[in-house]
């Protein structure tokens, strides 16, 4: 064999090896991508996943449910969080009660909820 023929054979072999490695890594990358997509689809469609606070899968906590009942009674946005909008509406609706017991919190949620659920919505 001549020098030129060996160079051609080695060059063709290098091209084939390079192409084979390229295809190998391309397939590995496609497999990783497919696996990641399947895992993300499983996570999204899993009804037992914990999404946090409050969400369509976990639902509101008992405290948030009580706050939601008070918010619907007051006619403010129902989100389960006793923020300034909820406390302000409560202060306007029953200023003496709000002054005595303070803003809605974990410590007094049962009292406020009993007032809202009580007979004829007793507001002190």
User: Which pLDDT belongs to residue 24?
Assistant: 92
Give the domain ranges of the chain.
Answer: 1-46, 62-117
Q: How confident is the model at residue 58 (pLDDT cuts 50, 70, 90)?
A: low
Q: How far, in Å, CA of 15 to CA of 17, rounded?
A: 6
Residue with tokens 């060059």: 11
pLDDT in tens, 26-41: 998 888 887 877 666 6
This prediction's pTM: 0.51
Cα 121–96–94 angle (5° rounding)? 40
Structure tokens at 28: 């590995």
């Amino acid at each position: 064999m001549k020098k030129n023929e060996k160079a051609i054979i080695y060059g063709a072999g290098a091209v084939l090896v390079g192409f084979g490695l390229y295809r190998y890594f391309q397939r590995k990358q496609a497999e990783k991508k497919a696996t990641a997509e399947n895992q993300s689809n499983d996570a999204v469609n899993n009804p037992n996943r914990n999404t946090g606070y409050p969400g369509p899968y976990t639902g509101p906590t008992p405290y948030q449910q009580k706050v939601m009942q008070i918010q619907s009674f007051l006619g403010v946005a129902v989100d389960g969080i006793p923020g300034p909008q909820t406390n302000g509406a409560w202060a306007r609706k029953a200023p003496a009660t709000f002054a005595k017991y303070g803003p809605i919190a974990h410590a007094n949620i049962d009292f406020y909820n009993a007032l809202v659920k009580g007979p004829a919505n007793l507001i002190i």
